[in-house]
Chain A
């Protein structure tokens, strides 16, 4: 007896084969519609529902054959599957660098525009410290973490080999630990300063390593958890 796979099984198999989620949705929709039409055809011939189901499943072919037919056409596979190293390792790293540079540029632009206003105010040392710290947390912790978690989840959704996003996450963590940003808004004249750099120092090596490890670990844990849950579902 031939069994027709569920829509969820077809979806999972096609994602696993490397199709983009949008292409998968379309394929699942068309295959399911085809199956319904074959069922109706069998029923119209006077077959029982069970026999019509068997015949329809046979006519449609096995899920393995359909998946292999897609996998055998690389042009139909998602770009992320054809170039996982670029998509999940290199681009996120460049993306973080670009986000860091864009944010720095934005801070400088805002500083220039609001310079006349800033010259007329005076900030306490604690206020200056808090603003600087917030910017450091945003650019050196929140940005790399959000980007890393996002890359991991997208890679998981596309069933990409997880080595690539994992490597990307580690590289982002390393880059975040090597970067530094310093924003001091004091008010008065000069109203403040902003600077950034990249480098490593033996004096701060433990902090740098800790920073890289923590960013990578915080992003890798959700990736590891969803991939473990996915494997458990597959095993059922």
Chain B
């Protein structure tokens, strides 16, 4: 299993990017989002899953995701989906992240060859 990255400063903005990216696939509820993040990241991003909810609620308040309640398995469940504003934000964050990754890979490549 890959080692988990919990909360270094470098991860600032990453939970937002990850949650928006996962929600871009389809509407999901909290547990599904957390499980998909675990699976897709091969457990490299195993945040305390409880902190997903403040992140989701904050994204909702900023209008980046929308929620609706629906009954499932005899219980009320809150489903989240990406809003148009969220899609635009996801594009920007993805672009930023790719630029950062390219930059870091460049530095690591230079170090390897230096």
A34 within 8 A of B: yes
**Using a CB-CB cutoff of 8 Å, which residues 19-62 of chain A contact chain B?**
23, 26-27, 29-31, 33-34, 37-38, 41, 59-62
Whether B49 and A60, one on each chain, are in contact in the complex, defined by CB atoms closer than 8 angstroms, is yes
Binary contact track A128-171/B, C-beta < 8 Å → 1, others 0: 00000000000000000000000000000000000000000000
Q: In the complex, what residue of chain B is closest to A73 when comparing beta carbons?
A: B58
Whether A33 and B75, one on each chain, are in contact in the complex, defined by CB atoms closer than 8 angstroms, is yes
B51: which A residues are within 8 A, CB to CB? 61, 65-66, 69
Assembled-state Cα–Cα distance A59/B49 (Å)? 6
A234 within 8 A of B: no
A123: which B residues are within 8 A, CB to CB? none
Q: In the complex, what residue of chain B is closest to A60 when comparing beta carbons?
A: B50
Whether B54 and A34, one on each chain, are in contact in the complex, defined by CB atoms closer than 8 angstroms, is no
Whether B50 and A37, one on each chain, are in contact in the complex, defined by CB atoms closer than 8 angstroms, is no
**Using a CB-CB cutoff of 8 Å, which residues 1-58 of chain B contact chain A?**
29-31, 34-35, 46-55, 57-58
Binary contact track A52-91/B, C-beta < 8 Å → 1, others 0: 0000000111110110011011011000000000000000
B53: which A residues are within 8 A, CB to CB? 27, 30-31, 34, 66, 69
* A181 CB to nearest B CB, Å: 45
Assembled-state Cα–Cα distance A31/B30 (Å)? 9
The listed residue with most A CB atoms (<10 A of its CB), out of B54, B55, B62, B77, is B54
B78 within 8 A of A: yes
Whether A76 and B78, one on each chain, are in contact in the complex, defined by CB atoms closer than 8 angstroms, is no
How many A-B contacts are there with CB distance less than 8 Å? 70
Report the interface size class on chain A.
20 to 34
Whether A23 and B57, one on each chain, are in contact in the complex, defined by CB atoms closer than 8 angstroms, is yes
Report the interface size class on chain B.
20 to 34
Binary contact track B47-85/A, C-beta < 8 Å → 1, others 0: 111111111011001100000000000011110000000
Assembled-state Cα–Cα distance A160/B49 (Å)? 28
**Using a CB-CB cutoff of 8 Å, which residues 89-115 of chain A contact chain B?**
none
Whether B49 and A33, one on each chain, are in contact in the complex, defined by CB atoms closer than 8 angstroms, is no
A63: which B residues are within 8 A, CB to CB? 50
A65: which B residues are within 8 A, CB to CB? 48, 50-51
Whether A69 and B49, one on each chain, are in contact in the complex, defined by CB atoms closer than 8 angstroms, is no
A72: which B residues are within 8 A, CB to CB? 54
Assembled-state Cα–Cα distance A59/B51 (Å)? 10
* A107 CB to nearest B CB, Å: 44
Whether A34 and B34, one on each chain, are in contact in the complex, defined by CB atoms closer than 8 angstroms, is yes
**Using a CB-CB cutoff of 8 Å, which residues 74-114 of chain B contact chain A?**
75-78
B29: which A residues are within 8 A, CB to CB? 30, 33
Chain B residues near A (Cβ < 8 Å)? 29-31, 34-35, 46-55, 57-58, 61-62, 75-78
15 A-B residue pairings within 8 Å (CB atoms): A27-B57, A29-B76, A30-B78, A33-B77, A34-B30, A34-B31, A34-B34, A37-B31, A38-B31, A41-B35, A61-B51, A65-B48, A70-B54, A75-B61, A76-B61
By Cβ-Cβ distance, the 8 closest A-B pairs, closest first, are A61-B48, A66-B50, A69-B51, A37-B31, A69-B54, A61-B50, A60-B50, A70-B54
